[in-house]
Amino acid sequence: MRQRSFGSTGVTVGEVGFGGWAIGKHQWGEVDETAARDAVQAALDEGVTFFDTAQEYGSGLSEQIFGETLGGRDDLLIATKTGKYWDVDGNFVQDYSPQHITASVEGSLKRLRADCIGLYQLHNPGVEVSDRPETWNALRQLQREGRIRFYGSSIGKLAEARAAIDNGAAALQFEVHMAEPRHKEFLDAAAEAGVAVIARTPLAWGALSGKYGPGVELPASDFRAEGNWGHKTFTKWVERAKDLAFLEREGQTLAQAALRYVLAQPAVSVVIPGGKTAEQVRENCAAAQGHLTEDELSRIEDIQRRWARE
């Protein structure tokens, strides 16, 4: 697998990584833990060196699966996130206080079976939290203590990106995908600052996987199902996927085209598609073996400009 620089850290990573959201039990329906472990192992076998998860994903299940499969490896960059979690009563909690950041790292270290976390990220903290000096001071202290190697932020707004950059973040994580091209100003800001870019949601929650059509029915436990918070956005992206069907050709699935689109952005350090099975992981990694043509990239941009006018 081709390697890319991880910002200005001096570290290189395989350009296709592994996103651990889908192997947590919350929000993506049921998870076969054996299949999830096989998926992580398949990523290793394919040369993946960057793995991303969060305390929130399955109340630590995703971290635990990473720990069982990857624990003790010092040739990988393993990232997790803090600030969101599910408490023992099943309530969703957001806490970005220095006290929580400092305390929660211990649970992640234990579940990941690690002595030091490669990249510790704020999990969609918002602008207000990102502007608090004490938030970043807590991360710097963990870095000085050797409990984390680098710190960063998973973001959704440009002001969050700027705050993270101003406070020494090594990496920014944000959405980069064909169906909603809001990422360009984020990529420009990251490139100018020399920070790593972790491109999340490259398949637009699966809308660009080629598996879903209009009116698709999903389990009630899936956050994309009708009546749940992700349904409206997911439905829009599924509709837009029809405009991108021309990308399916011999040797290229729509999912691989979606990943190749992300990898065509020079500022991207690593793209992190999820995968519940080894087969999905192998297909994702195969995207790195090809690229989109100039004509395909031009047609995608034309379609995106049309969407912006609608």
Q: Please give the CATH number for the structural domain made up of 3-206+254-309.
A: 3.20.20.100
Secondary structure (3-state) at 246: helix
Mean pLDDT of residues grouped by 10 in the chain (310 residues)?
A: 96 97 72 91 97 91 94 92 86 93 96 97 97 98 98 97 98 96 94 97 92 84 86 94 95 95 98 93 94 97 94
Token pair belonging to 104: 């929660």
Closest CA to 200 of 2, 11, 51: 51
Q: What type of residue is 133?
A: P
Structure pTM? 0.94
Residue 306: CB atoms within 10 Å: 10
The pLDDT, as a whole number, for residue 28 is 64
149/169 Cα distance (integer angstroms): 11
59/68 Cα distance (integer angstroms): 16
The pLDDT, as a whole number, for residue 220 is 84
The pLDDT, as a whole number, for residue 102 is 94
Secondary structure (3-state) at 173: strand
Secondary structure (3-state) at 117: strand
Domain residue ranges of the chain, discontinuous segments joined by +: 3-206+254-309
The pLDDT, as a whole number, for residue 27 is 62
Q: Is the dihedral of CA 10, 11, 14, 16 positive or negative?
A: negative
Do residues 54 and 21 touch, judged by C-beta distance below 8 A? yes
Residue 294: CB atoms within 10 Å: 9
Closest CA to 272 of 50, 10, 27, 6: 50
